[in-house]
Amino acid sequence: MTFSSIHERIVSGLTFPLTQYLYNRRGIVSSFRQSSLTEKMEEDFISAIQLRNLRLIIEHACRNVPYYEKLFKNAGIRPNEIRSLDDIKLIPPLSRDDVISAKRDLLDRRYKASALIVDKSSRGPAEPIPFARFKKFSLVRNTSSGSTGAPTVFYEDGAVSAMSWANELRVKQWFGLQPGIREVRLVRISPDFVMMNRANTFRRLLWNQMILPGVNLTDKEYAFIAKQLDIFKPNIIWAFTAAAAGVARYMVEHGITLSENPRLTITWAAPLYEHERESIQKGLGCTVGNIYGMREVGHIGAYCPAGSLHVFQESHLLETDDNGELIVTFLRQTPMPFIRYRTGDLGEVAYQKCVCGRTLQVIKQFHGRTGEIYTTADGRMFSPNFWCRAFMDARLANVVKRFQIIYAKDHSLKVRMILPESVRPKAESILQQMIFKNFGPSTIIHFEYPLDIAPQLSGKYQMVINEAKV
Ligand SMILES: [Zn+2]
């Protein structure tokens, strides 16, 4: 047995589950083990698991969450009336706007004090809390962009993250990769992140992982990432679709090849288009997969090696409404239940035989997100999340009612905001500073103050409009 395979075993059997447990992310390994059995069971068997979990979370929501208590009362339904999966349609869907206006009403009332503490903390979005398992207040605050023009703030206690980690182990297994193998993750850290910091040493030893920047990347970072991949030699790379495509494109353009290719790259946070898959395959020399998910409810599904987009049915109930929109319910008890949450994505959920042998439902006709990625003249990429985080800045979040960003054809930026006149100069100076820092100091910015920001034909607000896209 080689040293690296011993390390893999220690990571998968001991240090990974133990440290995750201390972050209050429990049951990762057991959920993963169970899923490898259930994913090949009869349709009825999986539906029965879903129904049992659904009834538990509805009961929990009606008892502990003010929003659902009211919702059920107003809709005239009682939790025990949900007797089949179809009965879920009795419950009105939840939109991002509902989440924004409900605020803490959507939170289990026993967690109110914890939410107050986490709101004041300087911890970044989704940053886990060390030893959360043993702390009284253990909520993690997170944010999501979507296309509503206002960031959605939500809280979780580790259950959503735990399920996502379990589903990542499952996807690795689908492609024949063992838990504990060496991996690289291109994540939401700033490009000036220092490599040998504590977080990376911790990850390398305990999780056999390296993290590298995955947002706002330029050629400088691409070169750095390519070099690190060559040194660390991961078996698998996880990355935002734009980041993986960017690195791969850079490597092809500069004739860089890795001394040892990874076996798999999994992209997320955006659909994987065919040209991106091809270019990642070419640049990184490996198979490419994609995970579909949302920050609020974690990973919802993933492509199997046979090319079907399977739903993680044990943890997520996915339906398609009359307009073709995917509606998701997270099937684990959490302090902030998402029951019939509108994804804003189009697709059709169906049972369909897959040659991979898994009986899990598949999403057909998947059209994915409306969110736009923007590339600056010098190659930096920005997802709508950049703006989401910018406007989450406490100095802006309290005054800006709604905003919209337009990337003009001439590469200037139009920032449209709805906010009181008196605070406009201050907001402009804060934004100008952020934009110059990230887009470059010569960026031309136009500030506009419309009376309203009109929704699109679909009735949704588009947070980012990319006119620069050809
Ligand atoms: Zn399949």
| 7-48: pLDDT as tens digits | 999 999 889 998 888 888 989 999 999 999 999 999 999 999
Q: What is the pTM of this model?
A: 0.79
In sequence order, what DSSP letters do the residues of 137-163 get, joined into one string? ---EEEEE-TTSSSPEEEEE-SHHHHH
For residue 350, how far is its CA from the centre of ligand 1 (angstroms)?
Answer: 13
For residue 441, how far is its CA from the centre of ligand 1 (angstroms)?
Answer: 48
The CA dihedral of 92, 93, 95, 97, to the nearest 10 degrees, is: 0
| 321-378: pLDDT as tens digits | 987 889 999 999 999 999 999 987 878 999 999 999 999 999 987 765 544 668 787 7
| Backbone dihedral region for residue 67 (phi beyond 0: left; psi -120 to 50: alpha; all else: beta) | alpha
For residue 460, how far is its CA from the centre of ligand 1 (angstroms)?
Answer: 33
For residue 36, how far is its CA from the centre of ligand 1 (angstroms)?
Answer: 13
Query: pLDDT band at 161, cuts 50/70/90?
Result: very high
For residue 372, how far is its CA from the centre of ligand 1 (angstroms)?
Answer: 29
For residue 169, how far is its CA from the centre of ligand 1 (angstroms)?
Answer: 16
Residue scoring higher pLDDT (143 or 436): 436
Residue scoring higher pLDDT (222 or 373): 222
For residue 309, how far is its CA from the centre of ligand 1 (angstroms)?
Answer: 7
For residue 365, how far is its CA from the centre of ligand 1 (angstroms)?
Answer: 15
**What pLDDT is attached to residue 269?**
80
For residue 303, how far is its CA from the centre of ligand 1 (angstroms)?
Answer: 7
Cα gap 104→122, rounded to integer Å: 19
For residue 20, how far is its CA from the centre of ligand 1 (angstroms)?
Answer: 29
Structure tokens belonging to residue 242: 């734009």
- Beta strands in 208-285, from DSSP E residues, in sequence order: 209-213, 236-240, 264-268
For residue 308, how far is its CA from the centre of ligand 1 (angstroms)?
Answer: 5
Q: How does the average pLDDT of the chain come out, rounded? A: 87
Structure tokens belonging to residue 410: 């001439």
What percentage of the chain reaches a pLDDT higher than 70? 92
Where is average pLDDT lowest: 42-51, 241-250, 273-282?
273-282
